[in-house]
Structure 1
Amino acid sequence: MFSKWIFVVLLSLSCLSSPAFSGGVSAYIVNGTETSVTTYPDFVSLFYDRTEYDRIYGTHSFCGGTMLNSQYVLTAAHCIFSGGSINEEYMLFMTVGQIDNETDWIYKITPVRPAEFYYDNSFSDSESDLWQNDIAIIKLESTLNTGGTVNRLGSESYHSNSNSFIAIGHGNTAVNTTTYKLLQTSMSYVDQSTCASVYGGLHNSQICFSGGSAATMNNGVCSGDSGGPIYWDNGGTLYQVGITSFGPTTCGAGSITGVFTELTDYNTWITNVLNGSVSPNYIATDAKRQAYYETNILSSPTDSSSVPSGGGGGSMGGGLLLLFSGVLGYRLKRRLVMPRI
């Protein structure tokens, strides 16, 4: 049970094919300033893309990620889950690319499709469990030419509110307020006991940050920032210390404006995935894409190409909202899915 009745938002992708999901999401950088992948060269975006099948694509990314190396992407597990199970449609029709302004992505970059998906077998896609072990790795079909890769740490020496931390993403700037640009914002470390007093049930593998002490609109993460990084700026060298997971329903509200999966707790698992000693949880192939398209999309009376813009944040039961900005969730609020012409 929560020690207080707190509302939180999971910064993830909306459930494109889940009938249980009834709304959109609200999760973007709050009080941010515009930045660039030149400054954060390991940052990438995950897009929904069916252009080679029927010219349908997402005009916004549904999650962020970072490059562990030229072929492996680090993100949040909830970005590939829906209602407790993997979201096969997102996994099959995902592309990964690097862009500053998302209005340019379909025309100005060459994205790469995923080939394999890895996630912690103990991941809990559950509000009541605060999305424990919210981490995933995507192996791409080919290398993605980015300007950099993640710097990881072997210890948690950065646990100090005197250190500087930066969160980035393409998420909303406030609830229901969209941006297409990559933004950054500064945040401060919050110790585990203080964070647990706000979010009862917090796990040791999660790390919390604050964006200020005002009643609302403190610096923080918001819908669409899921899977993206928070960095420790150690004298100009950036180390990724967390993956954006969830935050308050009202973005930027309260004393804790972002909860992240802490990377140091998964160093061994990450290394094992990269060296090939872990079997993928799911393999994506062209044959699977074609079969899924023919069986689940062509035969669907509510294909996403016919769904107009719409609204909202989807309630997930006892007080948490999914903060991921997936195609279905976005298109209910704004026109995210559209044909390429």
Structure 2
Amino acid sequence: MIFQNKYIFLLSCVFVCRSAAVYENGYHMDVGVPKATWLRRQPISRIVGGTKVDAATAVPYQAGIVVRLTTGWTSVCGGSVVSATRVLTAAHCWWDGQSQAALFTIVLGSLTLFSGGTRIETKQVTPHANWNTRDYTHDIAMVRIPAITFSNKIQAIPLPTASIVNNNFVGFTGTISGFGKTSDAQSAVSSSTVLHRATVPVISNAVCQRSFSLNIHGSHLCTSGDGRKGTCDGDSGGPLTVIVNNQRVQIGVVSFGPPSGCEFGEPSVYTRLTSFLNWLQAQM
């Protein structure tokens, strides 16, 4: 989900750089809608280079998001449970500059996106006020949901604190997860789509910039595509997590990926959560 996209910005795609905008027709029409169609038709979709998650308990903070657009089309994104009443995702999942979401169906505790688990419909989505659809800065949004009951399949992921605000995380091994495509060869997203995850190294923004004509800002964070691992279409909005002081913490939200596609070993780009601590606190 997080690594693919044939235009500039991604999911992440689930990830992007040929003009002043990430997608020619916006994320939803270029990525999310085709992915939703593919997920319904294919037996499995996954993080590129990743492994199938055998139980929802392995990634209990993962949220799937089925997006209903105002046009009636169905799109898809990812997200993360950050409290009993909040799910974090990317702003472009709600409004990508061309397509507007009308309703999110939040899917929790499930290995499949279009069936199973706890499913919650909501229109209460707050994108960052400075979300910029041209340079994909401030690509972050908070979703409000009725209070859920935590279980071994549904848990909140801790967010960064001020104690690690100056950590750039370069060299850390991150974990990405989502329901995205397996490869560029797949044209879309299936009712039996299975959650996958992969480990990826965090790289410096300077190294990341070499793969993009779009500016990589300080509020972005990147992971290497070495080993052809990364996010692919449909992973947008999903979490990037690392272990800090023996605790798993979310440090990024899948934002976009390389113009070359999912499987060419290029970086994936995320919204850097340590750049938004005040905003996150205000939204909680």
User: TM-score interval w.r.t. the shorter chain?
Assistant: 0.7 to 0.9
What letter matches 1:29 in structure 2?
Answer: I
Superposition TM-score, scaled by structure 1 size: 0.63
Q: 1:69 to 1:219 in 2, by over 3 A?
A: same
Q: Distance in 2 between matches of 1:7 and 1:111?
A: 31
Counterpart in the other structure of 1:33:
51
Residues 175-230 of structure 1, C-alpha deviation per residue, up to 9 Å, x if partnerless? 14357111011111111211123224111100010131x6xxx0110000000001
- SS for the counterpart of 2:210 is helix
Q: 1:38 to 1:194 in 2, by over 3 A?
A: same
2:126 corresponds to which of 118, 131, 149? 118
Q: Distance in 2 between matches of 1:136 and 1:226?
A: 12
- SS for the counterpart of 2:120 is coil
Q: Give yes or no for the alignment of 1:189 onto 2:220.
A: no
Contact 2:60 2:109 in 1 (8 A): no
What letter matches 1:30 in structure 2?
Answer: V
Contact 2:67 2:77 in 1 (8 A): no
- SS for the counterpart of 1:198 is coil
Counterpart in the other structure of 1:253:
264
2:177 corresponds to which of 153, 168, 193? 168
Q: Distance in 2 between matches of 1:261 and 1:240?
A: 11
Counterpart in the other structure of 1:66:
80
1:210 corresponds to which of 215, 224, 249? 224
Shift of 1:57: 9.4
Unaligned runs of 5+ in 2: 1-5, 15-22, 36-44
RMSD: 3.1
Q: Distance in 2 between matches of 1:28 and 1:244?
A: 14
Q: Distance in 2 between matches of 1:166 and 1:270?
A: 21
Counterpart in the other structure of 2:38:
none
What letter matches 2:176 in structure 1?
Answer: A
| Greater gyration radius | 1
Percentage of matched positions with identical amino acids: 24
Contact 2:205 2:222 in 1 (8 A): yes
Q: Give yes or no for the alignment of 1:143 onto 2:161.
A: no
- SS for the counterpart of 1:269 is helix
Equivalences for 1:59-138 in 2 at 5 Å?
62-82=76-96, 84=97, 87=100, 90-92=101-103, 94-102=104-112, 105=115, 108-126=116-134, 129=135, 131-138=136-143
Unaligned runs of 5+ in 1: 1-5, 51-55, 275-341
Residues 154-194 of structure 1, C-alpha deviation per residue, up to 9 Å, x if partnerless? 22436231x22111000001114357111011111111211
Shift of 1:236: 5.5
Contact 2:65 2:105 in 1 (8 A): yes
- SS for the counterpart of 1:10 is coil
What letter matches 1:231 in structure 2?
Answer: T
Runs of 4+ in 1 over 6 A off after TM superposition: none
Q: 1:63 to 1:76 in 2, by over 3 A?
A: same
